[in-house]
């Protein structure tokens, strides 16, 4: 037997995956819950996902595709913001969105993974629903025995926090639109401490900061 690595096939598969992650062009909820500068780059800068980022992303999407969620991947457009829950349930109270996440973070309560709850809260706020469902696959479990774990949560938000969320999302959207219109780079303000480490634009962002600091010194 002879085994040879097929780099051409690898390149073709990666190129196909990259096309699937092509920029969407409109403002989505996920642009509004993380660093606004990253959102700006996402909407304006040339994409330069590296192979590892593409593979990591596709892993999460492949898992979501295998889940049988009701009404998968329908896009909504509310208050000028696009969003696509992984699924939703129609109930008497309205649409209950479902968010499914695959994470390498160890198993812990969702309150300790606030970005997941923020995304779900955004869906609920824009859909006018007090309830949402979160499904999390912890691929490395609690790290000790590396047992893969599936967690499912029903989350209830109160009306006041949902109203505030809509206001804040609309404010952020309008500010991002202004920055895009006026070609103004938003401040570097990650909402979570891991954001810069995982950011595809970290190099570009650091270079921009260096130029700004250099100009400030002159």
Binding of residue 32 to ligand SF4 (CB under 6 A): no
Binding of residue 43 to ligand SF4 (CB under 6 A): no
Backbone angles phi, psi at 143, to 5 degrees: 75, -30
CB of residue 171 to ligand SF4, shortest distance in Å = 18
Per CB under 6 A, which region of 1-9, 33-41, 55-63, 160-168 contacts ligand SF4?
33-41
CB of residue 21 to ligand SF4, shortest distance in Å = 17
164-200 residues labelled b (16+ CB within 10 A) or e (exposed): ebbeebbebbeebeebeeeeeebebebeeeebeeebb
What tokens appear for 39 in the block?
């959102």
Q: Which of residues 151-210 bind ligand SF4 (CB under 6 A)?
A: 188, 190, 195-196, 199, 201-202, 205
H/E run at residue 133: strand 131-138
Per CB under 6 A, which region of 17-25, 30-38, 64-72, 133-141 contacts ligand SF4?
30-38
Please state, in angstroms and rounded to a whole number, the distance separating the CA atoms of residues 153 and 71: 18
What tokens appear for 88 in the block?
């939703």
Over its C-alpha atoms, the chain yields an Rg (Å, rounded) of: 19
Largest CA distance in the chain: 66
Binding of residue 37 to ligand SF4 (CB under 6 A): yes
Binding of residue 33 to ligand SF4 (CB under 6 A): no
Yes or no: say if 101 and 116 are a contact pair by the CB < 8 Å rule: yes
Q: Is 88 exposed, middle or buried (0-12, 13-18, 19+ CB in 10 A)?
A: buried
How many residues bind ligand SF4 (CB under 6 A)? The answer is 12
Binding of residue 120 to ligand SF4 (CB under 6 A): no
Nearer to ligand SF4, 36 or 122 (CB): 36
- Binding test (CB under 6 A) with ligand SF4, winner from 27, 32, 35, 117: 35
- Which neighbouring-strand residues pair with 96? 89
- Binding test (CB under 6 A) with ligand SF4, winner from 27, 30, 33, 38: 38
Binding of residue 211 to ligand SF4 (CB under 6 A): no
Nearer to ligand SF4, 63 or 175 (CB): 175
Beta strands in the chain (DSSP E): 76-78, 81-83, 87-91, 94-103, 131-138, 149-156
Nearer to ligand SF4, 39 or 69 (CB): 39
Which spans of this chain sit near ligand SF4 (rule: CB under 6 A)? 35, 37-38, 41, 188, 190, 195-196, 199, 201-202, 205
């Amino acid at each position: 037997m002879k085994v040879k690595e097929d780099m051409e096939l690898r390149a073709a598969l990666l190129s196909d995956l990259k096309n699937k992650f092509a920029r969407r062009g409109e403002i989505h909820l996920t642009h509004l819950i993380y660093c606004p500068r990253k959102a700006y780059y996402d909407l304006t800068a040339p994409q330069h996902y590296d192979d590892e980022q593409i593979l990591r992303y596709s892993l999460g999407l492949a898992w979501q595709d295998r889940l049988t969620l009701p009404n998968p991947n329908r896009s909504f457009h509310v208050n000028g913001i696009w969003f696509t829950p992984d699924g939703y349930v129609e109930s008497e109270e309205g649409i209950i969105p479902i968010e499914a996440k695959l994470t390498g973070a160890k198993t812990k309560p969702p309150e300790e993974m606030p970005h997941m709850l923020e995304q779900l809260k955004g869906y609920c706020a824009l859909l006018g629903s007090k309830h949402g469902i979160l499904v999390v696959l912890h691929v490395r479990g609690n790290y000790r025995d590396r047992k893969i774990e599936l967690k499912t949560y029903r989350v209830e938000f109160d009306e006041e926090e949902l109203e505030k969320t809509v206001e804040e999302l609309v404010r952020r959207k309008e500010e991002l639109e202004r920055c895009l219109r006026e070609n103004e780079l938003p401040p570097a303000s990650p909402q979570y401490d891991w954001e810069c480490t995982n950011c595809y634009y970290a190099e570009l962002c650091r270079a921009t900061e260096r130029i700004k600091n250099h100009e400030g010194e002159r």
